[in-house]
Amino acid sequence: MSENPNKLFIDPFIHMIYSIRKYIPFVLLLLFMLASCSERQNILQNLQPATLNAAYESSKETAITHRRFKHKDLQPLIEKHSGTFKIEELGKSVQGRSIKQLEYGEGETKVLLWSQMHGDESTATMALFDLFNFLKAKNDSFNIIRNVIKENLKIRFIPMINPDGAEVFTRRNAYGIDLNRDAIKEVSPEASILKAAREEFAPFFGFNLHDQQIYYNVEQTEKPATISVLAPAYNYKTEVNDVRARAMQVIVGMNRILQEVIPGQVGKYNDAFEPRAFGDNFQKWGTSTILIESGGYPNDPEKQYIRQLNFMIILNALYEIAHGDYNNYAVEDYFRIPDNDRKLMDLVLRNVTINNGKNKYQLDLGIKRQNMEMDNGYAVRGQIDDVGDLSVYYGYKELDASGLEYVEGKLADEAIEHISDLNHEKAFELLKEGFLGIKVKNNAESPFHDLPLLVLREMDSIPSGYKMGSNPNFFLKKNDELLYAIVNGYLINLNKPEAKGFKQHIW
C-alpha cells in the first residue's frame, strides 16, 4: 500500500505543535505583561498636568464660585454624593453645626484628608468637592485612575472641621480657639472630633489642608509661594523616620506636577516642631502627614486657580499612593524644595520723593491690602506696611517712582446724593483733577462699591500719609502733572486707567 503523500507534511506539523505546547503559558504570560506595561504607560500619561487639568475641568463643582461659603452651602453638595460615598456625622461644633465625613474606596491603604480647620482657609475645601465629583463620575477617559484609587485606597474626607469659623470667615472657632493648637488638650469639640476620627481610622497617610497669607514668597525670589508644602516634624530635633520620609516622598511627587504649571512658585514651610498642632502629632502618632498651604497667585483673589492646583496635586498624590509610585522618589529631593519667606506686598513704590517743606528725601513705600469682614460682605482696606529701604521686599505690583513726588489729594467740593450717581468714568475724571474722594449723603443702597475713588460718609477729609500704619491715599506727580493715584492701596495710572479690581467700602 502506498504511503499517504500528506503524511510527510502532517507529521512534522503535529510534532511542532507538541513541541511548543509547553511554552504556551509562558507566551501568554509575556503577552499579558506587555499589555500591562502598555496600560501602565497609559496611566502614567494620564498623570501629566494636561490630563489632571482636563480632569479638573470635567469635575469642577459649579455651585462654589468664591472662597466665602458657609456650612449650609455645603450640605446639599455633600448629600448629592450619598450614592458614591458613605456619609457619616462625626459630631457637632460648638454652635451645633454638623461635622461630616465622606468615605470612598475599597482598598487596604487608609488615607484621611481634612480641611478648613481654620474657618477662613477654604481653598482646599473647594478642591475636595471638585474631587468628589471626579470620584463619582463613571465611564470616561479617567476610569483607569479612578479604579486604581478605589481598589487600593480607603479614603475618608472631612471637608469642614470648623463650620462656626467658616460662618463668619474667621480663623478660630466659636470659643476663640485655634484648633490647630488644640490637639493635646482638646478643649474644643471640633478638636476632639478630628482626633477621634484619626484614632478610629488609623490612617497610613493624612493630608492637612490649609491657606497661608498671600505675602509668602519663595525664598530670595519675587515669586509668590502659591503652594507651600511640609512633612511636619514629630519631635524638636526634626528627625526623619520612615513615617515622615513617606510624607516627604509624596510631596516630591506633588512638586513634580507643580513645577510644570507654576515653576518656581512652591515653597517649603518651616518645620519647627509645634507640640500642640495636629499635623505634628499625626506624624508623631504614625500617620504620614502632608501639609498643603494655599498662598497667593496674581489676579486670583478668590483663589480659583489655586483651587485647581489643589485638585491636581491631591489627585496625583492619591494615585501615586494607590499605585505605590511615591516610593520611587528620593527624600533628598524634598529638601531641595526652597523654603518660603514673607517678603511680598501688594504694592511696592520705590524711590518716592517726599517733600515735607523742610527736606526732600526718597523712600520706598510698601503697601498691603487687608480684607475687612463685615456683616453682609467684605471690603479691602489698604495700609502702609513698611517704609525706607525695601530692596529685600517684592510686590505683586511694583513701580519705580524715581523722579515722582508724593502729593496729598483733595476731597471733592460737592457731595453726591447716592453712590449710584457716580460711575467709573466720572471717578477717573475727578482723579485727574486731583480729587481722591467724594462725600455721599445717602448710602442706604449698599456700604460697598467698586469705584476707583474714596467715598466718604463720616469723614470730612482724606485719610492719607506715607508713614507706617497710614492709609495709602495720595498722588504721585512729576513737576506739576499728576501721573499716578494710589487709592486705598490700589495703583492707578492716570494715563491708562483701568476700571477693575477695586473692592471698597464707604468710609
Which CATH number does the domain housing residue 281 bear?
3.40.630.10
Residues 353 and 449 both lie in one domain: yes
190 and 334 fall within a common domain: yes
3-state SS, one letter per residue, for 397-435? EEEECCCCEEECCEECCCCEEEHHHCCHHHHHHHHHCCE
What is the number of residues in the chain? 507
Q: Identify whether 24 is part of a domain.
A: no
CB burial of residue 240 (10 Å; 0-12, 13-18, 19+): middle
Q: Contact, 466 vs 474, CB < 8 A?
A: yes
Q: Which residues on adjacent β-strands are paired with residue 114? A: 158, 208
CA 434 to CA 429: how far, in whole Å?
9
Statement: residue 175 has pLDDT above 60 = yes
Q: 326, 341, 356: which is the final residue of a domain?
A: 341
Average pLDDT over residues 11-30: 50
Task: Work out the average pLDDT over 25-43.
Answer: 45
Task: Answer whether 52's CB lies under 8 Å from 316's CB.
Answer: yes
Listed residues 316, 341, 366: the one ending a domain: 341
Mean pLDDT on 209-226: 98
pTM of the complete model: 0.89
Percent of the residues in the chain that have a pLDDT greater than 90, as a whole number: 80
pLDDT digits (tens, 9 = 90+) for 395-430: 999 999 999 999 999 999 999 988 888 999 999 999
Task: Report which of residues 420 and 376 the model is more confident about.
Answer: 420
When pLDDT is averaged across residues 71-89 and rounded to a whole number, the result is 97
What domain range is 96 assigned to? 47-341
Instruction: Please report which confidence band the pLDDT of residue 15 belongs to, taking 50, 70 and 90 as the band edges.
Output: low
Q: State residue 19's pLDDT score.
A: 55
Dist CA 233 CA 271 (whole Å): 6
- Identify whether residues 320 and 427 lie together within a single domain: no
Last residue of a domain, one of 324, 341, 358: 341
CA pair distance 204, 507, nearest whole angstrom? 52
Burial (CB count within 10 angstroms: exposed 0-12, middle 13-18, buried 19+), residue 170: middle
Per-residue confidence (pLDDT) for residue 419, from 0 to 100: 87
Q: Is the pLDDT of residue 32 over 60?
A: no
Same domain, 232 and 83: yes
pLDDT attached to residue 199? 98
What is the mean pLDDT of the segment spanning 243-268?
Answer: 98
What's the domain count of the chain? 2
- Report the alpha-carbon distance of residue 70 to residue 481 in Å, rounded: 48
